[in-house]
Amino acid sequence: MEFISKNILPENWNSWFSVNGARTFDYLHAQNNRANLEEVRNYLLNEQNYLCAYCQKKITTSDSSIEHVIAKSLNIALSTDYYNLVAVCKSQKNDPITNRLHCDKEKENKEITPFVFFNKSKVEINKNNSYFDVESNGLIKPKDNLTTELYNQVKSFIEILNLNHSALVENRKNKLFALIKSLKSNSEVVKWENIFNYIYHNHSLEYKQFLLIYFAKRKGLN
């Protein structure tokens, strides 16, 4: 759910998606060259600081996969496009309550609004995330000041990716309380701004965006 900044096309991107010297635009063709796809995945992992594009769980080279934000079946031309590919988490457990998975395993070929590519999906020092809101119990929800259309898009993004999978909610809540506790042990007064700055500069912190949205509110940003 965090904005993923895609800048210039990586130098080797076209060669990673070439088959017999010619650029393929069909991911299924590229799939025959696993070594090249490893390079693609490693590039994306680095770009995302080893956090899942959707849930921000920590991911590794052996526990991640390449995800097409706009599904292959919806637009084959985008199936090898740098600006449509992200790295996501791979191993998951079914939610004991709903029996559902999360992220791409839950999304499959469904359509989502690509909030991960909208730069307002980012908390800045002076500005909170424009679309998502969070609660101290670990839940993610749409901001309530959105237009109806946008509200429904954010709601559907959260639902299709199942970002409120019980394991994710629990992990986010635990991470949040651990952070507050660690700061309280240093001084009696919690300085929200200090926690915010710590998270803001810690690029590979798990559930970073959730935490930033929470602490941005505590430090007075909406």
User: Where do contacts with Zn ion occur on this chain (CB under 5 A)?
Assistant: 52, 54-55, 57, 89, 103
Compute the least distance from the CB of residue 93 to Zn ion, in Å. 12
> CB-wise, 87 or 195, nearer to Zn ion?
87
Compute the least distance from the CB of residue 192 to Zn ion, in Å. 27
> CB-wise, 57 or 214, nearer to Zn ion?
57
> CB-wise, 57 or 175, nearer to Zn ion?
57
What one-letter code names the amino acid at 136? S
Compute the least distance from the CB of residue 48 to Zn ion, in Å. 11
18: left (phi over 0), alpha (psi -120 to 50) or beta: beta
Is there a contact between 69 and 117 (Cβ–Cβ < 8 Å)?
yes
> CB-wise, 78 or 116, nearer to Zn ion?
116
With a CB cutoff of 8 Å and minimum separation 6, the contacts of 30 are 16, 17, 19, 24, 36, 37, 80
Count other Cβ atoms within 10 Å, centred on residue 86: 24
Is there a contact between 123 and 213 (Cβ–Cβ < 8 Å)?
yes
Compute the least distance from the CB of residue 27 to Zn ion, in Å. 20
Provide the sign of the torsion angle of the four alpha carbons 17, 21, 24, 27, taken in this order: negative
Compute the least distance from the CB of residue 208 to Zn ion, in Å. 13
> CB-wise, 2 or 196, nearer to Zn ion?
2
